[in-house]
Structure 1
Amino acid sequence: MVVHEAKPYNAEPPPGALLGQITPLDTFYGRNHGPIPRMDVASWRLRVDGLVDRPLELSMDELRSRFPERKVVATLQCAGNRRADLMDFRDIPGQVPWGPGTTSTARWSGVSLADVLAEAGLQAEAAHIAFTGSDVSEEPDTPQPFGASIPTVKATSSEVLLAWAMNDQALPTAHGAPLRVVVPGWIGARSVKWLQRITAQAEPTDNYFQTAYSILPPEADPQKAEPGDGITLGPIDLNCAILQPDKDAQLPCGPTEVTGYAFAGDDRTVARVDVSPDGGSTWIQAELDAPENPWTWQHWRATLTPPAGETELIARAWDSIGAVQPESAATVWNPKGYANNSWARLHVTYHPGWTPR
């Protein structure tokens, strides 16, 4: 893992480790805003309250016995994925320089959030569902648990889970045990880990991290921004990345396989990936894997024969509604470095007559 911070733990796998459809548990990225809590499952309870007819307090055994188990394969992606590319354009002080590895896919098992909310009896005024975790962050002026909310229309969709297992194994402590939320197609910050409370309410949560994950105007000062100054993030933007070859690789001339992932976010899929061997002068269409479902990434590959010398490999994706990624990091730069979905670019050098040892 590429560890950007030890306290709190923030790490991503190297790009080449993400070539498989399912990401191994020890390779799945970790994003945290505070210390990882360790809870006693025997005494842990999930509280469901707010605008509901029947508030609930559920143990893990009760969750497992009262609701049918559900499974979904889903990709999670941090809102700061590929922030390092924005930093190359213009510095973003105080932020983690994430590469393309804060994207991973797992097979999640648990119960449907919709089933639990139905048991509690959602009231008509409940337009948003808020989640509160057990991890406490020092980032707000007053330390508080990490939290988020999503609209009820998303929360009651069949793909949203309260997960206790990952890749058919017990959910690791580092990834939210004993229970976490999984909100497929939305930024990872909405999939709250170490879940302890679900609240149905009329408005989005006022938790610090709900609006902290917002895109601010380029001229804004993040230290002075107020809630509502930016665009609060939810569904993931169309994105792609090059996984192989490595950045700044020295390569022999001749055909080279270039591989990567693409992810459309929300309930869209990727329809096409174009790859250029020469900085955008020419393009070919990559071979693209079919999606397992609308909530997963799709891997792609193309064989290129770039010119000798230094060159820039570029990849861009199109989604199922015809949208394409923006060309330049300059057009999407923002002072927190979120949602960089500009074309993926990779500098390499090709040497004529050179054979790697």
Structure 2
Amino acid sequence: MAKDEIQKSRRQFLVKTGLGLAGLALGNNLWAKGSGTTGTGQQKLTLGDGFSLKEKHPDLVVLSDKPWNIETPPHLLDDVITPANKLFVRNNGLIPENLDAKTWTLTIDGESVEKQTVFTLDDLKKKFKHHTYQLVHECAGNGRSEYSPPGHGNQWTTGGVGCCEWTGVRLRDVLEAAGIKKDAVYIGYYGRDKHLSGKDEVPISRGVPMRKALEDEALIAWAMNGQDIPVVHGYPLRVLFGGWPASTSGKWLTRIAIRNKIHDGAKMNGTDYRLPKNPIAPGAKITATNENMRIIEAMPVKSLITYPKTGAQLTEGKPLELRGHAWAGDRKIKEMHVSYDFGATWHKATVKSQRNRNCWQQWSAALKLPQKGYYEVWARATDSENVMQPMLVPAWNPGGYLNNACHRIAVEVV
């Protein structure tokens, strides 16, 4: 790489993290402000959209307000279980109004159901065994802002992810109660959210293959972190598929169709949540046919540094204590490494075991930085199939999906 390209890359990183040279000169106050992106405290409630930003931590970053798309700065994701007020928001339509759990119903139908069946929320709670799982929930476009040229959609940085504790019943138990025909290949969900146009159109209706739908951890949930699911996250009922794109986990759930073909609902075709089957050049045009595109399924191996906050200052001679999370779709995390010299050397971190499948794992490390000055600390996870995070942004795609490049923070030793 040419010298001017290296300098440009470094400048871009400093701008992205809010750590320009002025920050180094002026000290910790400017560093702590991050990128300077507008926080929720400066946004207004969208009329008739049933959601108050008072429900969220004031330092979350609003990417759009119609529909609501809000991400979480990495240092606010330090909890093992993500609190409701720190969980990102990704909506495709408008939040439904007049939600009444007492009259809520879930219909199971489709070409491959034995008998169309309707359950009340009370039926689900009384007729089926309850299960609780911690599940990683990540927007497929998380990290989109790093692609060049930009991918289509909200320019997420690193905060479109969380791992909450969900309680409900297994989707498998409910589908089997209605009856699954032998020709079933997919499920598709439908929610009560409204299309942005105000017309009677479905804003999003996605799904998963039967093999994912029938896993133990696939849930129809009514509780998050031991409480009713907040309205913005799908109250009173939603479906959860940990480790897969969050778009497969439908909110305000009213219907699940058992299909005898790949689900063809809204946001299942074109470039939506799909990748080119063969690599293409950045910015290249592609005809979004089934022959050219594949549906995103399990999310790739990824990690996040949640402590310290980028811009931290460290007294010379003291170890740098690091911690964060790592996850890998349907796989486990095998190893975790950190580097302070741009990947020239790597230091092994300690990784905790999974609480359950499809949840993230906590890691920690202590580094001794050799002298005073500026450092970029990188984190890289390796999954149970020995697949490592790339150090750079992976292959470009029109939707800007699945960026799992190493997360990095800036630190100064003083």
TM superposition score normalised by structure 2: 0.78
Could you say what secondary structure the match of 2:397 adopts?
Answer: coil
Q: Over residues 158-200 of structure 1, what are the superposed CA-to-partner deviations in whole Å (9 max), with x where a residue is unaligned?
A: 1101000111111111110111001122111111111111111
1:183-262 map, 5 Å: 183-211=241-269, 212-216=272-276, 217=280, 218-221=282-285, 225-226=288-289, 229-254=292-317, 255-262=319-326
* 1:18 and 2:18 aligned: no
Q: Over residues 93-140 of structure 1, what are the superposed CA-to-partner deviations in whole Å (9 max), with x where a residue is unaligned?
A: 65222222221111111111111111111001111111111113348x
Check whether the contact 1:19–1:299 (CA below 8 A) recurs between aligned residues. no
Q: Give the whole-Å Cα distance in 2 for the aligned partners of 1:116 and 1:125.
A: 18
Q: Over residues 212-263 of structure 1, what are the superposed CA-to-partner deviations in whole Å (9 max), with x where a residue is unaligned?
A: 11124444448x7445542311111110122223334444434211222110
Distance 1:142-1:36 versus aligned 2 partners, 3 A rule: closer
Q: Give the whole-Å Cα distance in 2 for the aligned partners of 1:251 and 1:339.
A: 33
1:137-216 map, 5 Å: 137-138=195-196, 143-211=201-269, 212-216=272-276
Could you say what secondary structure the match of 1:42 adopts?
Answer: helix
Could you say what secondary structure the match of 1:200 adopts?
Answer: strand
Q: 377, 382, 407: which is aligned to 1:318?
A: 382
Note the C-alpha offset of 1:145.
3.3
Q: Give the whole-Å Cα distance in 1 for the aligned partners of 2:322 and 2:126.
A: 47
Distance 1:183-1:93 versus aligned 2 partners, 3 A rule: closer
Note the C-alpha offset of 1:153.
1.4
Q: Over residues 292-337 of structure 1, what are the superposed CA-to-partner deviations in whole Å (9 max), with x where a residue is unaligned?
A: 12211112121123343233211111111211112211x3332321
Aligned AA (2:105): R
- Which stretch of the first structure deviates more once superposed, 16-25 or 120-129? 16-25
Q: 387, 395, 399: which is aligned to 1:336?
A: 399
Q: Give the whole-Å Cα distance in 2 for the aligned partners of 1:253 and 1:294.
A: 40
What is the number of residues matched between the two proteins?
A: 345
Check whether the contact 1:8–1:33 (CA below 8 A) recurs between aligned residues. yes
Aligned to 2:37: none
More strand as a share of residues: 1
Q: 126, 141, 153: which is aligned to 1:95?
A: 153
Aligned AA (2:113): V
Could you say what secondary structure the match of 2:207 adopts?
Answer: strand
Distance 1:221-1:37 versus aligned 2 partners, 3 A rule: farther
Distance 1:135-1:340 versus aligned 2 partners, 3 A rule: same
Note the C-alpha offset of 1:207.
1.7
Q: 362, 365, 368: which is aligned to 1:302?
A: 365
Aligned AA (2:260): A
Q: 131, 136, 140: which is aligned to 1:75?
A: 136
Q: Over residues 25-46 of structure 1, what are the superposed CA-to-partner deviations in whole Å (9 max), with x where a residue is unaligned?
A: 1111111111111323233221
Could you say what secondary structure the match of 1:178 adopts?
Answer: coil
Check whether the contact 1:132–1:145 (CA below 8 A) recurs between aligned residues. no
* 1:45 and 2:105 aligned: yes
Q: Give the whole-Å Cα distance in 2 for the aligned partners of 1:146 and 1:195.
A: 12
Note the C-alpha offset of 1:64.
1.6
Aligned AA (2:202): Q
TM superposition score normalised by structure 1: 0.90
Check whether the contact 2:144–2:151 (CA below 8 A) recurs between aligned residues. no
Aligned AA (1:128): Y
More helix as a share of residues: 2
Aligned to 1:354: none
Q: Give the whole-Å Cα distance in 2 for the aligned partners of 1:273 and 1:25.
A: 27
Distance 1:296-1:186 versus aligned 2 partners, 3 A rule: same
Instruction: Tell me the C-alpha RMSD between the 2 structures.
Output: 2.2
Aligned to 1:124: 182
Q: Give the whole-Å Cα distance in 2 for the aligned partners of 1:262 and 1:121.
A: 37
Unaligned 5+ segments in structure 1 are 352-357
Could you say what secondary structure the match of 1:208 adopts?
Answer: coil
Could you say what secondary structure the match of 2:62 adopts?
Answer: strand
Aligned to 2:9: none
Check whether the contact 1:270–1:317 (CA below 8 A) recurs between aligned residues. yes
* 1:62 and 2:62 aligned: no
Distance 1:37-1:221 versus aligned 2 partners, 3 A rule: farther
Q: Give the whole-Å Cα distance in 1 for the aligned partners of 2:187 and 2:298.
A: 16
Distance 1:44-1:145 versus aligned 2 partners, 3 A rule: farther
- Which stretch of the first structure deviates more once superposed, 64-73 or 234-243? 64-73
Aligned AA (2:322): V
Q: Over residues 1-42 of structure 1, what are the superposed CA-to-partner deviations in whole Å (9 max), with x where a residue is unaligned?
A: 222222211112221121121111111111111111132323
Q: Give the whole-Å Cα distance in 2 for the aligned partners of 1:182 and 1:113.
A: 9
Could you say what secondary structure the match of 2:75 adopts?
Answer: helix
Q: Give the whole-Å Cα distance in 2 for the aligned partners of 1:144 and 1:18.
A: 32
Q: Give the whole-Å Cα distance in 2 for the aligned partners of 1:311 and 1:225.
A: 42
Unaligned 5+ segments in structure 2 are 1-59
Check whether the contact 2:152–2:400 (CA below 8 A) recurs between aligned residues. no
